[in-house]
């Protein structure tokens, strides 16, 4: 299993803690039942930490004017909204909620150039809160395709996720499906597409980053 670089430090700390606690119990000559009572939950937690930072290979199947999912998770919002930061007009918002069990690598929904990027500090409301898209800590990225269509997406921190990472900046060229960032410990990503875009997903549908076709724009 390939591990994402964002997890190296945390996994190293978790390893020292896990081994240290077991060594301490052994040094104190704790009874086997106590070793099992403490050791087994710690082992499960340790495995979950490692699994959280997994980074499986993903391949984007190119569809003309296609927009792929930027993250793994479940579609929780598909609605027409007023996008107030960049476009300042009506857009269709597609929101994907990531649970702690999902892969948390974020990927570019389209190929093109980064025409806008901004980091916003903010609150840590639960990710499904209606105001989390505009009030939580977040990043806003806009990618312009070769044909001139711009797609905006936001990495949004939640009540637990307070570590957003991004690897792109204005002017960068992007390839659909490539890594653009990481959100630690659960949150969501919002994608804003032009009104009239052909939406290919449904509410409650589970999606995979780079591999699930979200929509096709005109």
pLDDT at 125: 58
Q: Which pLDDT score, from 0 to 100, does residue 149 have?
A: 96
pLDDT of residue 218: 85
pTM score? 0.86
Which residues participate in catalysis according to the annotation?
187
Fold assignment, 66-216: Glucose Permease (Domain IIA) (2.70.70)
C-alpha dihedral over 9, 15, 21, 25, to 10 degrees? Answer: -170
pLDDT averaged over 10-residue windows placed end to end, the chain, 218 residues: 88 92 83 86 90 90 90 96 96 93 94 96 59 72 96 84 84 96 85 97 97 95
Rounded distance between C-alpha atoms, residue 41 and residue 45, angstroms: 6
CA distances to 44, 70, 78, 103, 192 from 75, in Å: 28, 12, 8, 15, 13
Tokens of 171: 């002017």
Q: Residue 126's pLDDT is what?
A: 56
């Amino acid at each position: 299993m390939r591990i994402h670089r964002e997890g190296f430090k945390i996994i190293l700390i978790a390893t020292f803690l896990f081994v240290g606690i077991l060594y301490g119990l052994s040094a104190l000559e704790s009874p086997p039942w106590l070793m099992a009572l403490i050791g087994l939950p710690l082992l499960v937690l340790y495995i979950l930490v490692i699994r959280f930072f997994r980074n499986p290979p993903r391949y984007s199947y190119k569809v003309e004017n296609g927009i792929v999912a930027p993250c793994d998770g479940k579609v929780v919002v598909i609605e027409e909204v007023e996008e107030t930061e960049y476009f300042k007009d009506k857009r269709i918002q597609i929101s994907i909620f990531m649970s702690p069990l999902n892969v948390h690598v974020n990927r570019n929904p389209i190929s093109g150039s980064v025409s806008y990027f901004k980091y916003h500090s903010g609150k840590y409301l639960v990710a499904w809160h209606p105001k989390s898209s505009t009030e939580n800590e977040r990043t806003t990225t806009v990618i312009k395709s070769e044909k001139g269509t711009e797609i905006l997406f936001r990495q949004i921190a939640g009540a637990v996720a307070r570590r957003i990472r991004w690897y792109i900046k204005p002017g960068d060229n992007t390839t659909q499906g490539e890594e653009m960032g990481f959100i630690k410990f659960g949150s969501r990503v919002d994608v804003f597409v032009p009104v009239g875009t052909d939406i290919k997903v449904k509410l409650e549908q589970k999606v995979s980053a780079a591999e699930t076709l979200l929509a096709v724009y005109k």
